[in-house]
């Protein structure tokens, strides 16, 4: 069974920071939250939520999600699975 990576705080924290940084670098995407990291041997899975402007067209949201996933895989080759939940950012005035 995959174990939460919390038993290795250094690498979990490093992963967390790297993922947060990649999300911040992606245009129009913000507020990464609810990050879960699971490790099974060398294989790492991550899932998280982030927000985009509510007026973002769904096609653009998909492109951003795909770009984000590609960037994460490039930066973290040990990542075998990435699940990104994109949510509308209702907090920002349009």
Whether this prediction's pTM lies above 0.85 is answered by no
Terminal C-alpha separation, the chain:
44
User: Whole-angstrom Cα distance, residue 10 to residue 65?
Assistant: 27
23 in helix, strand or coil?
helix
Per-residue model confidence as pLDDT tens digits over 27-36: 999 999 999 9
Higher pLDDT among residues 4 and 90, named by residue: 90
46 in helix, strand or coil?
strand
């Amino acid at each position: 069974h995959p174990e939460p990576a919390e038993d290795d705080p250094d690498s979990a924290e490093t992963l967390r920071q790297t993922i947060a940084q990649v999300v911040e670098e992606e245009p129009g995407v913000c507020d990464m939250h609810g990050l879960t990291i699971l490790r099974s041997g060398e294989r790492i899975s991550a899932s998280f939520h982030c927000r985009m402007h509510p007026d973002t067209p769904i096609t653009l949201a998909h492109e951003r999600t795909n770009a984000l996933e590609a960037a994460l895989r490039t930066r973290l080759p040990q990542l075998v699975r990435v699940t990104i939940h994109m949510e509308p950012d209702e907090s920002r005035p349009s």
